[in-house]
Amino acid sequence: MAALGRAVGVYAEVMVAVPRSGLPALVAGIPRAARLHIVTGKGGAGKTTTAAALAIALARGGQRVLIVEVEGRQALARLFDVPELPYADRHLAAAPGGGEVVGLSIDPEEAFIDYLELFYNMKRSARIMQRMGAVDFVTTLAPGLRDVLLTGKVKERVTLNEQGRSAYDCVVLDAPPTGRIRQFLDATREVANLARFGPINRQSQGVVELLHSERTVVHLVTLLEEMPVQETVDAAHELTEGGFGLGAIVVNRARPHYVRPGQLADGRLSRAVLRRGLKLAGVDVDLTDELAQQMIEYEARQDVQRANADRLDAVAVPRIELPELAPPVGVGELSELSDYFVIDE
């Protein structure tokens, strides 16, 4: 399956990102220069799996990459088969060439307490508010505030320094779904407009600047199905309109092209030809009718895939195609998927 998936591969013009010394080249749409890779997609399209595979690919060759989740699902812990992530950076996996993937699950309540301490020196009071349930009340009452806190912590990790150098070579954000990605990324701009002076304004402006700079790219994960493709096209338009840079569209769980276009004339299949082929292959010819029906149905599903792939042409960014893997997906499978973000040397 892996070889077949690789044959389907990346169907975009291959443009090699200029790698740093010793680092593997990445496929088109995954720029090495980006410090923040935001991964979004319709729910169920596999954005967390894609974000994790991308993090492993970016970590190859000795890079240190942080992957962040913000939805409180502990999806990264399950995917990497580790205990639930605390509100702290934790090792998740090693990458080929000495790289490391680190994980962080951002808790909005803890981020709010950090915020109060940073700007108002109110950590003690904030802890009392937390025990009273006031912090959860505030962040639930104002969902836009949650987004501000989350994007603020992501920005903090992107710019984090240890002993004069960046703590991470880049950060991968497993972001909210496409249905609200523009709202999520734009929340801090609204705060910056409200707080026109002081430290909150400066912090907000820093987040806005990062998200709209060349250091940040947004990748869109989709399935070749009608609703995910439509959400992807709509989100791409909204993000471009909002001044956010797009990286690549990642088509997840693509079916291999077992039936060639035109191989079945008008949806029909010659049973006699199939029977002779089965006989030559040493397969029971009694399976002819069942296999013929499966081929017809498979070709119909491929036609749907092709039609939806054509609809994605409305978004002028590179496209990366990942194969369908048998569940469950673990670290080994993530490493296999990471191959699709790297150009063979």
Q: Cα–Cα–Cα angle for 114, 118, 120, nearest 5°?
A: 110
Beta bridge partners of 172: 37, 67
Residue 294 is predicted with a pLDDT of 82
CB distance 40 to 181 below 8 Å: yes
Q: What is the pLDDT of residues 114-128, one digit of tens each?
A: 776 766 665 565 555
Q: Domain residue spans in the chain?
A: 2-107+144-266+318-334
- The C-alpha atoms of residue 94 and residue 316 are separated, in whole angstroms, by 34
Q: Which of 77-81, 212-216, 288-292 has the lowest mean pLDDT?
A: 288-292
Superfamily of domain 2-107+144-266+318-334: P-loop containing nucleotide triphosphate hydrolases (3.40.50.300)
Q: What is the pLDDT of residues 157-195, one digit of tens each?
A: 999 887 667 899 999 999 999 999 999 999 887 665 555
Confidence of residue 289 (pLDDT cuts 50, 70, 90): confident
Residue 177 is predicted with a pLDDT of 96
The answer to whether residue 2 scores a pLDDT higher than 50 is no
Task: Please state, rounded to an integer, the average pLDDT across all residues of the chain.
Answer: 83
pTM confidence score: 0.83
CB distance 323 to 1 below 8 Å: yes
Residue 201 is predicted with a pLDDT of 65
Q: What is the pLDDT of residues 44-77, one digit of tens each?
A: 999 999 999 999 999 999 999 999 999 989 999 9
Q: What is the pLDDT of residues 302-341, one digit of tens each?
A: 888 889 999 999 999 999 999 988 778 889 999 999 999 9
